[in-house]
Structure 1
Amino acid sequence: MTATPVPTPIGEALKAAFRTHPAGVAIITASTSEGPVGLTASSVASVAVDPAAIVFSVTRATGSAGAILGAATFVVHLIDDEHADLAQSFAVSGSERFTPEQGWAALSTGEPHLPEARAALRCRTIQTVAVGSSTVVIAEVIDVVAGPTGRPLVYLDRRFHALPNDTHH
């Protein structure tokens, strides 16, 4: 059992700084022998287009995070405002997940898929780096499934917020 990290003044200042820096919201899912797993992440970013790659971090390599890290492939769903409640469910341990009412399906490859997500990125891990109590994941994107677009969802000051619809001028 690892000790809970003790917040440092710089760590607390970093958290405060990022609290006011909006981040996109994603739900990451995988299929395991124990069933589907998933979590909410606000750390997803594009890294490269050749090879197509993204990066994200998860806290503690246990539970859903550990299951996703151990899966051969996983799906990163970029979600919109209509999925704010779902993002909250996947952010809290023990919440209801993968119910029919939530709109889940499965890709032909078996991973849980939210067809209503703006985009679903099917990935495989290229590399992981342990940083304190977190793990940074660099993943190759092996398929992109486009979905309908709605009002983008961002995480800011510990809450989900909708952005206005994209307007092209």
Structure 2
Amino acid sequence: MTAVPVPTTVGEALKATFRTHPAGVAIITAASPGGPVGLTASSVASVAVDPAAIVFSVTRATGSAGAILGADTFVVHLIDDAHSELAQSFATSGAERFTDEQGWSQLETGEPHLASARAALRCRARQTVAVGSSTVVIAEVLEVLTGPPGRPVVYFDRRFHALPHHTDH
């Protein structure tokens, strides 16, 4: 049985602080023996360009996160404002996912792919580090699939917010 983390004063202050720190939004997907899996992440960041690598964290090694951690490869979709509703569904346990109406297809390598995402990074985990109830993943980027440009979205104060398109003034 895994111990449930006990909130601390510092931990609660950290959560409150990061609620007001805007973060980009991604949907991470993988193929698993039970079918496609995915989750929403606001912890994705670039780490290196040689080798091309990113980092993100997941809060549990079970469910969708566990399936992604166990997959040979996965896809990190950098999404736009048009995908805010989709990001919310991937952040909600039991919500509808991977429907044709949502625009999902499958890459030749088997992973679920959202072609309308601004970019999709096909990755392989190089290293994972357990930190409390979270797992930090350092991933090698194997392929970058570009999609149409859109209005960037950030997660701020528990909600998704659109930023102006780079050509907006």
Where does residue 118 of structure 2 map in the other structure?
Answer: 118
Counterpart check, 1:33 vs 2:33 = yes
Give the Cα–Cα distance (whole angstroms) in 2 for the partners of residues 39 and 13 of structure 1: 25
Q: How many residues align?
A: 169
Q: State the 1:168 CA deviation.
A: 8.2
Q: Measure the CA separation in 1 of the matches of 2:166 and 2:17.
A: 26
Distance 2:60 2:26 in 1: 18
CA RMSD of aligned residues (A): 1.0
> Where does residue 163 of structure 1 map in the other structure?
163
Partner of 1:78: 78
**Secondary structure at the counterpart of residue 129 of structure 2:** strand
- Report what 1:19 is aligned to: 19
- The equivalent residue for 1:7 is 7
Deviations 1:87-120 (A, max 9, x none): 0000011000000000000111110000000000
Q: Which runs of 4+ in 1 moved over 2 A?
A: none
Q: Which amino acid is 2:34 matched to?
A: E
Matched, 1:96 2:78: no
Of 78-87 and 1-10, the range deviating more from structure 2: 1-10
Deviation for aligned residue 1:2: 1.2
Looking at structure 1, the residues matched to 4 and 164 of structure 2 have their Cα atoms a distance apart, in angstroms, of 39
Distance (Å, rounded) in 2 between the aligned partners of 1:71 and 1:161:
31
Letter of the 1:126 partner, please give it: R
Question: TM-score scaled to structure 1, two decimals?
Answer: 0.98
TM-score for both structures, normalised by structure 2 = 0.98
| Separation in structure 1 between the aligned mates of residue 168 and residue 23 of structure 2, nearest angstrom | 21
How far apart, CA to CA, are the structure 2 residues paired with 1:60 and 1:20? 23
Gaps of at least 5 residues in structure 1 are none
Residue 109 of structure 1 aligns to a residue in which SS?
coil
